[in-house]
Chains A and B, each alone.
Chain A
Amino acid sequence: QKEVEQNSGPLSVPEGAIASLNCTYSDRGSQSFFWYRQYSGKSPELIMSIYSNGDKEDGRFTAQLNKASQYVSLLIRDSQPSDSATYLCAVGDYGGATNKLIFGTGTLLAVQP
Chain B
Amino acid sequence: DAGVTQSPTHLIKTRGQQVTLRCSPKSGHDTVSWYQQALGQGPQFIFQYYEEEERQRGNFPDRFSGHQFPNYSSELNVNALLLGDSALYLCASSLYGENYGYTFGSGTRLTVV
- Cβ–Cβ contact A100 & B42, under 8 A: no
A62 within 8 A of B: no
Query: Does more than half of chain A's interface fall in helix, strand or loop, or is it mixed?
Result: strand
CB of A31 to closest CB in B, whole Å: 7
Known: A34-B101, A44-B90, A46-B101. A99 touches B96 (CB 8 A): yes
Query: Given the complex of chains A and B, what is the CA–CA distance between A4 and B99 in angstroms?
Result: 18
Chain B 25-45 interface residues, beta-carbon cutoff 8 Å to A = 31, 33, 40-45
- In the complex, identify which listed stretch (A10-18, A52-60, A67-75, A86-94) lies at the interface while the others stay far away: A86-94
Contact of A100 with B106 at beta-carbon distance under 8 Å, contacts A46-B101, A105-B40 already known: no
B interface with A by C-beta (< 8 Å): 31, 33, 40-45, 48, 55-56, 58, 88, 90, 94, 96-97, 99-107, 109
**Contact count band on A:** 20 to 34
* Residues of B with C-beta under 8 A to A8: 40
* Residues in A whose Cβ lies below 8 Å from that of B58: 100
Are A98 and B43 in contact, with the CB atoms below 8 A? no
B88 A103 Cβ-Cβ under 8 A: no
